[in-house]
Chain A
Amino acid sequence: MTTATATIPHGVHHHGPEKGLMRWIKTTNHKDIGSLYMWFAFAMLLIGGALAMGIRAELLQPGMQLMEPQFFNQLTTMHGLIMVFGAIMPAFVGLGNWLIPMMIGAPDMALPRMNNWSFWILPFAGGILLSTFFMEGGAPAFGWTFYAPLSTTFAPDSTDFFIFAVHLLGFSSIMGAINIIATVLNMRAPEMKLMDMPLFVWTWLITSFLLIGAMPVLAGVVTMMLTDRNFGTAFFDATGGGDPVMFQHIFWFFGHPEVYIMILPAFGITSHIIPTFARKPLFGYSSMVYATASIAFLSYIVWAHHMFLTGMPVAGGLYFMYATMLIAVPTGVKVFNWVATMWRGSMTFEAPMLWTLSFVFLFTIGGFSGLMLGIAPADIQYHDTYFVVAHFHYVLVTGALWAIIAATLYWLPKWTGKMYNESLAKIHFWWAVISVNILFFPQHFLGLAGMPRRIPDYSLQFADFNLISSIGGFAFGASFFLLTYIVVDCIRNGKPVSARPWKGAKGLEWTLDAKAPYHSFNTPPSRALIEAESQHSA
């Protein structure tokens, strides 16, 4: 890193935000854009959650009560798409925007204008996606995995809008990822070496490579769908020598890295919060970095574990089974390190720590059910049942979403300069963590007993567990009103905090003012400061 030479023209350097709506539309500031991402993700979370309430209402009892099967399928499809592309991914990009420049001692992101565009594509893409509900033939109803030929031969016209929405979402993610790579590699404080970087930065850097590798493949597969539907190509049509199975291969080549895109930043967040509240440096910093990198690498070569029942040669099934099992090794390293960090720490249990601790527990449950699913012969029983639904909700809700909530509470004081209401946050945590388990744990039993996923009606023996699950679902859904209140209350009436409200917290972000200034670091932090704040110094 060399020192820059050019002078900065007047009006570019020290300035605060503009006023009114235009501030948000024109902004090139990483904090503004981070907030936009977070609020957008939150809105999408509520919309997607409302759809899920519809699903659980229909499944409350056996029999068809509220809706046509076709509409039920629209609900499951749109719920999945909105949560994955509208809520979880944007929330992590928002956190990345807010935190990465502060954590690496930079003033802002490397490509601030492009950063604005990555965000401002999202509302349009989300709007197109949601508008399909109001189109003739209804919204897409083929599941968030949109397998051909359901999505080609048998899909409603609105599918073409869905395809373009996916293009836009992918474009936004790719720009976001490029920006993060350029920021981390080029805007980092000159004195900060790669192995000094906080783990949230590391995990996001690696996630960016997953995004750049996987999202274009998604763009490719929806493009093939588009031409199959409208221009007479035969990619997924056996009549012309194509193959619907090929769709699944290309989709899951994107799809499996995608699930790690949604969990690696969560690993990073966890690696910040546990040391803070255990008041010990992170155990095994460098092994965390290498574990993250190997998970990312492995995630590219295990995709067909989603396709054990689609049909593939036995050797293929064996390979994908063993490769999948292999991921448990680096994941185990991570869980081990988190536990070892807590070992003999002087722990306290503020809300962010509660969320993070339950993350470690519940994500691990999801990881174990994943291992079970990865056993090819066993998956013959589990595939496409509620067991899979339980698996991915443990890793995504009590995994990814948990980390997002933990991060929000943990860094909220830095974003607002104020503290949230701790007792309300604790009530909210226990409410959510109990209800989420009532919601998803019984689904394991349903799946093992053979209840298929994506079905609006079921036979009588599944009634009890479904009732329990639905009650848990409504309670969990209601908990988000409290979360909204906690966040808004903090922004409005929170008590002012000091620059480092968590006593054990380390990291450059805590050296900034209590409420982080509009531009984070105008002069890069010194080597001494970086060392003092690094995750691997005691």
Chain B
Amino acid sequence: MSEQKYYVPDGTYWPIIGSIGVTILFVGFANQMHGVSWGASAMVLGFAIVIFMLFGWLGQVVNESVNGIYNSQVDRSFRWGMSWFIFSEVMFFAAFFGALFYARQISVPWLSGEGNNLYTPELWDGFKATWQQIAFSTPGTTLKSGVEMSIPTQLVDTWGLPALNTALLLLSGVTLTFAHHALRAERRNQVISWLVATIVLGVAFLGFQVAEYGHAYADGLQLTSGIYGSTFYMLTGFHGFHVTIGAIMLSVILYRVQKGHFSADSHFGFEGVAWYWHFVDVVWLGLFVFVYWL
């Protein structure tokens, strides 16, 4: 066995800065929700610190990578790290999908008396258990949190914008794969074009998503529309947030490609972001099928 050298980085300030940032962000958020005047400013400050930390920390990593400090072992550690991070994100979405299935298959039917829950309709007088338009026959019902429920007047049109968005995201997965192939073949200009195409598709997706939210909101489908509104907005909202992060990461990768940071056989940064993008893609498929379609 030949001598193996390991890479162990020096001490770093970034984590503590990050902790301070997220703490200020969260404390600000909580105070903002409780109507405290400085809440919002604290949120902005905390957010800025987190962004500063991310740039500083990841910037340092990129620098070290470009200067050839890392070896193949570090590269594998990053790969393991990124894949299991994505898996943890999958489980986060799984919690919300679980809530969706539970509500649809169990709690809403039960509220209308299915199974042996014969007396629940008495408790919830006038409850209409239609999935997208959960409502009471008497309008103006308030939730336990004191918020008035908003009853959607229209159903979401699956084969309109949502279908278009599905096509866009799937296509972006393809263009990203082309970019990867081009990277392996060391054709930088092609990589750049395919990456730009991917980012454009992602941004278009986000644009349509915002437009769709606008329609839905106008039709009365809001966060306060009962369990359908809750699952609809939380699932699509977190997904949209992840697409945004993904698009930002792709833009950073684009910049790094232009700088020539990657080579045919060493481009973990690119691949990690690509995995993330495909993950976001797959989550959307689940959303399309279970939130919009079925």
Q: Which residues of A contact B (CB under 8 A)?
A: 1-9, 11-13, 15, 18, 22-23, 25-29, 106-108, 110-114, 116-117, 120-121, 123-124, 127-128, 149, 152-153, 157, 160-161, 164, 167-168, 174, 177-179, 181-183, 185-187, 190-191, 212-217, 219-221, 223-224, 227-235, 237-243, 245-246, 249-250, 253, 313, 519, 522-524, 526-527
Q: Which B residues are in CB contact (< 8 Å) with A231?
A: 223
Cα A123 to Cα B23 in complex, Å, equals 10
A228 and B95 contact, Cβ closer than 8 Å, known pairs A212-B84, A216-B89: no
Query: Would you mind naming 8 contact pairs between A and B with Cβ atoms under 8 Å apart?
Result: A7-B5, A9-B69, A124-B19, A124-B20, A164-B30, A186-B77, A233-B223, A250-B98
Q: Are B71 and A6 in contact (CB under 8 A)?
A: yes
- Hey, which chain B residues are within 8 Å of A221, CB to CB? 95
- A28-B9, A128-B26 known; A120+B99 contact, CB < 8 A: no
8 Å CB contact of A241 from B27, B88, B96, B103 = B103
Q: Mark B143-160, 1 if CB is under 8 A from A, else 0.
A: 111010100000000000
Residues of the B chain whose Cβ atoms lie less than 8 Å from the Cβ of A249: 98, 102
The reply to whether the CB of B33 lies closer than 8 angstroms to some CB of chain A is yes
Contact B230 A3 (CB under 8 A): no
Question: In the complex the two chains form, what is the Cα distance from A135 to B80 in whole Å?
Answer: 41
Which chain A residues border B149 with CB–CB below 8 Å? 234, 239-240
How far apart are the CA atoms of A425 and B188 in the complex, in Å? 66
A-contact bits for B1-15, CB 8 A (1 contact / 0 none):
111111111111111
DSSP class of A's interface residues: helix, strand, loop or mixed? Answer: helix
Q: Is A6 touching B11 in the complex (CB atoms < 8 A)?
A: no
Q: Are A113 and B115 in contact (CB-based, < 8 A)?
A: no
B72 touches which of A4, A9, A111, A117 (Cβ 8 Å)? A4
CB distance from A141 to the nearest CB of B (A): 18
In the bound assembly, the distance between CA atoms of A118 and B71 in angstroms comes to 24
Interface size class, chain B? 35 or more
- State whether A27 touches B11 (Cβ < 8 A): yes
Inter-subunit contact A233/B224 (CB<8 Å): yes
Which residue of the partner chain, among B12, B81, B103, B124, contacts A246 with CB atoms under 8 Å? B103
Q: Which of B5, B11, B134, B224 is within 8 Å of A8, CB to CB?
A: B5
Tell me, in angstroms, the Cα distance from A27 to B115 when the chains sit together: 58
Q: For residue A524, which residues in chain B have a CB less than 8 angstroms away from its CB?
A: 1, 4
Is the C-beta of B269 less than 8 angstroms from some C-beta in chain A? no
Instruction: Check: B16 CB closer than 8 A to any chain A CB.
Output: yes
B51 to chain A, nearest CB (A): 16
- Report whether B144 and A28 are in contact in the complex, using a CB–CB cutoff of 8 Å: no
Q: Is the CB of A239 within 8 A of B144?
A: yes
For A107, what are the chain B residues with a Cβ–Cβ distance below 8 Å? 6, 8
- Do B144 and A523 touch across chains, with their CB atoms under 8 A apart? no
Specify which of A7, A25, A112, A223 is in contact with B13 (CB 8 Å cutoff): A25
Contact among A117, A234, A313 for B230, CB-based, below 8 A? A234
Which 9 residue pairs across A and B have the least CB separation, nearest first?
Answer: A220-B95, A26-B11, A240-B226, A4-B71, A117-B15, A243-B107, A232-B147, A233-B230, A164-B26
Report the bound CA distance from A411 to B146 in whole Å.
55
Instruction: Kindly identify which residue among B26, B80, B95 contacts A185, using a CB–CB cutoff of 8 Å.
Output: B80
Partner among B13, B34, B96 whose Cβ is within 8 Å of the Cβ of A26: B13
Q: Using a CB-CB cutoff of 8 Å, which residues 194-230 of chain B contact chain A? A: 222-230
Alpha-carbon separation in the docked complex, A224 to B234 (Å) = 9
The residue among B22, B57, B115 with the most chain A CB atoms within 10 A of its own CB is B22
Name the residue of chain B whose CB is nearest to the CB of A235.
B230
Q: Which of A4, A123, A183, A232 contacts B143 (CB 8 A)?
A: A232
Closest Cβ–Cβ distance, residue A319 to chain B (whole Å): 15
Does B91 count as interface, using CB distance less than 8 angstroms? yes
- Asked whether any CB of chain A lies closer than 8 Å to the CB of B141, the reply is yes
Q: Quick check: is B162 within 8 A (CB to CB) of the other chain? A: no
Residues of A within 8 A of B234 (CB): 223-224, 227, 233
Q: Give A157 to B33 CA distance when docked, in angstroms.
A: 9
Q: Who on chain A is nearest to B149 by CB?
A: A240
Q: Give the docked Cα–Cα distance between A313 and B114 (Å).
A: 12
> What's the least CB distance linking B45 to chain A, in Å?
15
Residues of B within 8 A of A152 (CB): 144-145
A120 x B95 contact (CB < 8 A): no
Residues of A within 8 A of B89 (CB): 216
Of listed A168, A178, A249, residue having the most chain B CB within 10 A: A178
Q: Find out whether the CB atom of B91 lies under 8 angstroms from the CB atom of A25.
A: no
Contact (Cβ within 8 A) B230 A250: no
Contact A5 B71 (CB under 8 A): yes
Contact A230 B33 (CB under 8 A): yes
Asked if A117 contacts B71 (CB within 8 A), the reply is no
Which residues from B are CB-within-8-Å of A27? 11
For the complex, give the distance between the alpha carbons of A168 and B108 in Å: 33
- Residues 19-58 of B contacting A (Cβ, < 8 Å): 19-20, 22-23, 26-27, 29-30, 33-34, 57
A241 touching B228 in the complex, CB below 8 Å, given contacts A120-B16, A179-B81: yes
Question: Shortest distance in angstroms between A210's beta carbon and chain B's nearest beta carbon?
Answer: 11
Q: Given A8-B69, A12-B10, A28-B10, 15 more contacts at CB 8 Å?
A: A3-B4, A4-B7, A12-B69, A26-B12, A117-B19, A178-B80, A213-B91, A217-B92, A217-B98, A219-B95, A224-B95, A234-B143, A240-B149, A241-B227, A246-B99
Cα distance, A13 to B69, chains bound together (Å): 12
Q: Does B258 contact A (CB under 8 A)?
A: no
- In the bound complex, residues from chain A placing their C-beta under 8 Å from that of B225 are 240
**Are A114 and B81 in contact (CB-based, < 8 A)?**
yes
Residue of B nearest to A6 (CB): B71
State in angstroms the CA–CA spacing of A94 and B111 once bound together.
47
Determine how close the nearest CB of chain B comes to the CB of A208; give it in whole angstroms. 8
A243 and B102 form a contact (CB under 8 A): yes
Which partner residue on chain B sits nearest A190 by CB separation?
Answer: B1
CA–CA, A522 and B81, complex, Å: 22
Residues in A whose Cβ lies below 8 Å from that of B292: none
B-chain residues with CB within 8 Å of residue A26 when the two chains form the complex: 10-13, 16
Residue of A nearest to B136 (CB): A239
| A158 to B, closest residue via Cβ | B30
Task: Enumerate chain B residues within 8 angstroms of A111, measured Cβ to Cβ.
Answer: 77-78, 81
Which residue of B is nearest A26, CB measured? B11
Which single residue of chain B is at the shortest CB-CB distance from A113? B12
Say how far B179's CB is from chain A's closest CB, in angstroms: 27
B94 engages A242 (CB within 8 Å) = no
When distances are taken between beta carbons in the complex, the residues of chain A under 8 Å from B98 are 217, 249-250, 253
Q: B171 in the interface, Cβ–Cβ < 8 Å?
A: no
Q: Kindly state the separation between the CA atoms of A354 and B250 in the bound complex, as whole angstroms.
A: 56
B256 at the interface (CB under 8 A from A): no
**B141 and A110 contact, CB distance less than 8 A:** no
Q: How far is the CB of B239 from chain A (nearest CB, A)?
A: 14
In the bound complex, CA of A57 to CA of B85 (Å): 44
B139 interface residue, CB < 8 Å from A?
Answer: no
Q: How far is the CA of A280 from the CA of B79 in the complex (A)?
A: 39
Please measure, in the bound complex, the distance between the C-alpha atom of A182 and the C-alpha atom of B81, giving whole angstroms: 6
- Given the interface contacts A213-B91, A227-B223, does A5 sit within 8 Å of B72 by beta carbon? yes
